[in-house]
Every structure is written in structure tokens, then in C-alpha cells.
Structure 1
């Protein structure tokens, strides 16, 4: 899986009976046919006066009588267990536990397993394990492992199982439904190097060297001792060279350390896939193709991981959700909150998607905007933040679009593509970097970030790259 990450939501979902309470065992069509054919053959033998015809129908009636006397009484139960911890990226797993119960119950189970974006699977298997010597295993039933692959992240609908138990082919249960709970797939993170940082750092300590004087490791200059300087900062070798009589003491002055503040802004107002035909909301997006929001989650998780591991503070804003933004903070626990918040990002009602005001940002924070640039709203936000003095890096999360065949969609996509290219060109003219995060360009994103970080460090006054 190139985009997806870890499965964290899990639990247990029990099966549900029909809402009308009509659950129970009923004869199959084979049982009804045996009784009907047997009675017809007996009636024909009496009317025709032929005993040989009656001998043909008697076995069917005897089989139906025996089946009626052995009518099952124990219902089939099914539980769907899902893992509650991390699992393999890109795979959703679950275990369907079938319990036939003691006594006369189902011996064969018919399953129909469905999942969004996957083909329906039909399966017929024994309700109990084949090893009948294990009585405890017979009482517990058997486990059926389920697995599906997907590169999608966020809330995902997984397994829906329709099942029906039967006994001896003559009795069958009413169909029951087992539906798995919605799973939350956390996005993974790609390794990144240095990232662009704001020009002004905040705090009294941190992993970076600020431009102001203070305690740190990066040398600024050598200066004569003044009141307030610490004695441990005295450079005795320089003092001995410049002032042999020790008339003047010289101290080593360093840059103070500080931390950077970054805010991740995810444009989750829409979610589009590589197929333009699905942009109207009528088609189904394939599970093996990441959408724009999947790419945004993956890119934001990668940037957040790199910044938090470097000791910086990171916050999260969602353009589609105006409540409860994550304020900037640091630490591994906060990183888990960020990844969880990214997984919950999804489009809202289009009527309420327009924001009158841009999200409020902390002072001296750098903004990472993850958007598809399909409309002009991201440009207005970027220009507003730049006017307020915030450096902005735009991450383009539009997937590589498949070739369009329909004539009306060709014209619409050409217009949309040209408008999008104009917006990217306008950002480049204004000095706002745009980093592509889709297809083969994603592999060059780390190099692009490294170049931006080097360029930003080179233009800081008094600093060398």
C-alpha cells in the first residue's frame, strides 16, 4: 500500500435477525417437492391400479417424514470480530465466527460476502469443524477469516455478510445479516528530510537556532565581557590572545534555540478520484486508487511526522470542519491526535462549505495547505495569510487524471485543467511554492522540500546555509 496506514478502529458486531421476527426453520424446495411428488404418485397408483407407481413415490414420502421428525431447533449464530489494534497497512481483516450450538442445528452454511468496491463472494461450508472428535470445537463452531485490500483511508465500510443455515438439504433458516462497523483507517507517513520553517521561531528552547542571542550551540561572535554575561561563556584562549594582561575578558556569544510552529490546513471540501466521471457523485471510486483526500491525508501525515520528530509544534485545521481545530503542540501523543484528526477529515454539505473568514493562525507560523486547486478559494486563503506575514507552502493533492473519452467531459476537464494551471502559475509568480503529491511526483516531494528548506535558510540574515 502506497498511501494507507494503520487500522485502529475495531470491535465485534453480532448478527441481526429480520425486523419482523419471522426467524425460524422452514422446509426447502426439495422437501416440498418430495412430499408433492410422493402424494401425486400415490394418487396416480390408486387411480391407475398400479402398485409399481406407488413404490416410486414411497421413498420420497419416507424421506420427507424422516426430515420432518428431525426438524432442527437450534438457531445458527454468527459474530463478526474485528481487530482492535494495528494491522497490516492496506488490508482490512475480520473473523466471522459461526456457532451452530448443541443439539439439532445447521450442518451447512451458505454465505454471501460483500464489501464496497469488491466483487460479491458466495461461499458454502460446514457449520462445524470436520474433526468431530473435538466436542468443544463442535460446540463453538468455526471461524471464517475475511480479508480485503484497499488503499483508501479514513472511515471505511467493510464487510456485509448474508448467511443462511441448512440441515440435510431439507430445512433452511431465514436469512440473517451481519454488518461490520465502520472502520477508521489512519494514513501512513512517508519519510521526509528537512522542511521549510518560518523565518521567526518562538519559544525559549527548541531544536533550531534562532536569530536572537541566548543559550545555544551555534556560535554568533566573540564579544567583550559585559555585565550579565555568564562566566562559563568566557573564552580564555581568545582572551589570552587579545588581552595578555587580562584587562578585558572575551565571551563566546551564541544563537538561542527555539522551535518552529506549523499549521496543516487540509482542504477536505471535496474528494475526487482519478476518474473524472466520478466527480459528479454518480460513479463509485475504486478502492485501489487513492482520492485527493487520501493523498492529502498521506501528505499531511508525512509532514506532521517529520516536524514532530524534529521537535516542532504542529497544528491542524480542516476547511470543511470549523469546530475543534487542533492547536499547535509537540510530542508523540499529539502526533497520534493529528493522524486521527486527518483520518476523520471528509467532505461536508456543499452548501456550508464556503468560509467567510480564513482559519486563525498563531503568530509566526508557517502554513502547509493541502488542496486540489480546483477553485479560487485556496488562492484567497493563501494571499490572506501572506498579507498577514505567514509563509505558505501549497501541496497539490489532485490525483493523476485518467484519459477522458466522453466528449462533454473532455471539454469540461480541459476548461478545469486550464483554470487550475492558471492558479498554479499565479502562485509561482507570487513566490508561493507548489509541491506536487501524486503519482511519480510524490517521490520527488522530499527533494523539493529539501530545496525549499535550503533556500529559506540561505535568505535568513546573518546565517550561512
Structure 2
């Protein structure tokens, strides 16, 4: 975390109030030390008959008396000064301003607007979850904006800046620390560019970017056929008609494949949110902000797939396994893409006992399913087999992060058992013909190549269609 960046807003203001509701200042330890030293020197000088020693303590007492008389006040009206305990205007205040709307993963920015009041120095302690605390002392001006930056690869609801603000005057008076910020922001996942994606064999809809296997208006030629009732006159191929029927006894038309759009459903298994550190799997410890968890990877992968499909003109829906809310139905367009990304950012795990599904999520007919899961239990296998039995092609995206090695023997044995069980599930999926694409570590760079290979393989097995399947 650095102090220095761009200005942003949320409108949360701290007014410098104590826990008991009173506002004000208190004397510092420097004032107490000056008075004690002055009194001690003066007493020792008088008792010892040392006038020079007594005079040394007098300036400290005079300075303390002057500082005491200069109690911070605030201007209420023209020529009027109020007691600092009665008027909050003398107390330094801070307003944390954050940008409206949701943030994007990578860097969060905000600005702390400081109104110093009667203080001449403002002390800031700036912290955030997973970051080191930064302490800053600012020379007070009539008003100051302190730009803040926060780097993180995490997505979803995230804690932002928590700031303690304290003002001081002449190193004698200091304000009791007040808290500014401490809000949570929704960080949206970013989308990586992908190429072609595997699509269902049967396309639905009356129009779209792909060529279907049914007759209709399109750009891909199917055959030349004699004119029949219902054919459009503009489809007549006069050259073929003149060659095959010089007397114009039979008219020939050019028949084409109709265009259609594909339907895809993104199913995010948000029941688990595990990081690379096995110690955090037990619910203890803090997840690092520079290491994405399994749910962060799932959000990123799903946002990338959704963007590629929507930009290709297809329809995309979203289903969250951990939440029994109404799913997002398949639709297209950039506005719908924003709804999907926002829904992905809201996905979070809940109690596993309360989210057990009796039946898999409903998927529209002739839709392909993209399942984003860690495959840490048998539930994904049950879902995939049910969808495939109903004729839906399924692509599994493995979102488990690369696990760090551990030294504890019990953790090492537990992870070895869990990894072997997980490898058996992945092998079972591969053996049943379900493609599994890894989305973690260095394997993420190969995901685009895997998607392209799956799209080309689907083209070879679909008769009557060329281009994207």
C-alpha cells in the first residue's frame, strides 16, 4: 500500500468523537514532562541555593503555562472563539472518498480529505487487511487531500482502507484518535481475452453469428434446388436456371443455412474458497492479497468465458451453486455482461450443509455448460453426469490454485489423501469424455489453446456446419 495516487469518494465522515460522545483535546505527555522538569529544577535550585539551576526550570514552566493558555479553539462567527470541547470545528476531521460503483481487481484508489481544524500537525495511521500499516505525519493546511493506493488480486467484497486520524497542536495538545473509512467495496473480476470457445452442437434462435443445420436466411450455401412454394423470388439463381432450364420451365433457387446463436450457462461452484496455503483451509489465518483463491480464479475464468461468448453474439446465463437465489437467465449484450460480472463478484461460500442441492440447476435445452469448480468432492461428478445424460455438453474448468508445500506431517498426509481423491475424480471425468481445463498458475496460459482445440474438434464432428461450431 502506498500513499499517493488519485482522488475518489464515499462520503463517510469522522467528526472526531470520543467513545463517551464528547469531542475535544487532551494534554500530551510532552506537556507533563515539561511541567515536571520545570518544577523539579526550580525546587532543587531553591533548596540548594542555586539560582542558575532554578532559572533553568523557569522557561519550561513558562512554556507549559503558555501552551496551557493556548487551548485549541474554533471560530464560530466573526470575532467569536468557542471552547474546543463544545465545538467540533476545532477537531481535525477526515473524509474518505472512494469512486462510485464497483472497483476492478488490481488496484484500489481512494482519497482522504483532511480538514485540520485547530491542529498544526495531523498524524495518520493507514492500514488494510493483508497490508503493512503506514504512518504519516502531515503539516496541517486549511485542507488537504491525501491520495491512497491499494494493490490486491482478490475479488468480491473486500475491506479497504482503515485510517486512524489524530491532530496535535504545539506538541502540547492532541486529539483522541478517531477512525475513518473501514468500508467494504465490491471488486469486480477482470476478463482475459480468449479465442473461440466450444459451443453446443444444436443452435437455437432465429438469428445469430453461427450457421445452423436448418434451412433459412444466411450466408452459407447449402444447395441449388428447384423453386417450391414459399421460396423467395430474390433467391432465384438466374444463371443456374438459364443453364439447366433454357425454356424457363423450372426455376432454381439458392438455399442457405440459417444463422442462429448458441446458449451457454456458467455454473460457479462457490461452495469452496481455498487459497494456496493449506493452513488457511481450516478457517484460521489470513489469506494473502497477492495470491488469488479458488473463488478468485473461478470469477476470473467465468468473466473471461462470458466476455468471449457475449462478444461473439451468443447468449450466456449464470448459476451459483452456493446460493439459492434466482439465476441469471441466458441473454446477450454488454449490459447483460455487466450483470454477469457483478453476479460473479457477489458469489461467496456459505454453510455447506445449507446449500446441498437435491437436483442440479436447470439448464435450457441445447445449451452448453461451463462448470467452474475445485473438484474437492463428488458433487461436480454428479452434476456433470446428470447434465450429460440430458444431452448437454459440459466443459469443466479446474480452479484449484497451486498448493504450497507444507512441513507439518499431518497436513502433508491430509493433502496427499485429498489430492489422490481429486485426481481420481478428474481422471473419471476425462475418461467419460468431459474436457477439463486447468485455470491456475502456468496452466492458465494454456487455457486459450485448449479452448481453441476443443472448438476445432467440435467442428469436425458437426456435419453441415463450418466456421465456429
TM-score, reference length from structure 1: 0.92
CA shift digits 1:30-88 (9 cap, x unpaired)? 10121223223333344444433321221111001100111112111111111226878
**Residue aligned with 2:154, SS:** coil
Q: Which of 127, 130, 144 matches 1:117?
A: 130
Aligned counterparts of 1:456 and 1:218: Cα–Cα separation in 2? 18
CA contact (8 A) 1:22 1:174 kept: no
Residues 321, 86 of structure 1: CA spacing in aligned structure 2 closer, same or farther, 3 A cutoff?
Answer: closer
Matching residue of 2:297: 295
CA contact (8 A) 1:315 1:329 kept: yes
| 1:278 CA drift (Å) | 1.3
Matching residue of 1:13: 12
**Residue aligned with 2:385, SS:** helix
- Structure 2 unaligned spans of 5+: 1-5, 74-89
Counting matched residue pairs gives 444
CA shift digits 1:276-305 (9 cap, x unpaired)? 121111121111111111111111011100
Aligned counterparts of 2:267 and 2:311: Cα–Cα separation in 1? 19
User: How large is the Cα RMSD of the aligned pairs?
Assistant: 1.8
CA contact (8 A) 1:160 1:178 kept: yes
CA shift digits 1:260-289 (9 cap, x unpaired)? 111100011111111112111112111111
Matching residue of 2:64: 64
Aligned counterparts of 1:436 and 1:308: Cα–Cα separation in 2? 22
1:91 maps onto 2:91 in alignment: no
Aligned counterparts of 2:355 and 2:412: Cα–Cα separation in 1? 27
Matching residue of 1:268: 270
| 1:237 CA drift (Å) | 1.4
Aligned counterparts of 2:226 and 2:335: Cα–Cα separation in 1? 45
Aligned counterparts of 1:329 and 1:125: Cα–Cα separation in 2? 52
Aligned counterparts of 1:464 and 1:108: Cα–Cα separation in 2? 71
CA contact (8 A) 1:269 1:348 kept: yes
Q: Map of 1:195-274 to 2, 5 A cutoff? A: 195-274=197-276
Aligned counterparts of 1:300 and 1:89: Cα–Cα separation in 2? 14
| 1:242 CA drift (Å) | 1.7
| 1:322 CA drift (Å) | 1.0
Residues 10, 439 of structure 1: CA spacing in aligned structure 2 closer, same or farther, 3 A cutoff?
Answer: farther
TM-score, reference length from structure 2: 0.91
Q: Which of 344, 347, 367 matches 1:345?
A: 347
Aligned counterparts of 1:362 and 1:428: Cα–Cα separation in 2? 24
Matching residue of 2:356: 354
Aligned counterparts of 1:154 and 1:88: Cα–Cα separation in 2? 10
CA shift digits 1:323-368 (9 cap, x unpaired)? 0211111111111111111111111123313222211111111100
Matching residue of 1:318: 320
- Structure 1 unaligned spans of 5+: 1-6, 129-137
Residues 87, 367 of structure 1: CA spacing in aligned structure 2 closer, same or farther, 3 A cutoff?
Answer: closer
Aligned counterparts of 2:91 and 2:233: Cα–Cα separation in 1? 85
Matching residue of 1:371: 373
Aligned counterparts of 1:33 and 1:438: Cα–Cα separation in 2? 59
CA contact (8 A) 1:165 1:173 kept: yes
CA contact (8 A) 2:104 2:187 kept: no
**Residue aligned with 1:301, SS:** helix
CA contact (8 A) 1:10 1:183 kept: no
**Residue aligned with 1:463, SS:** coil
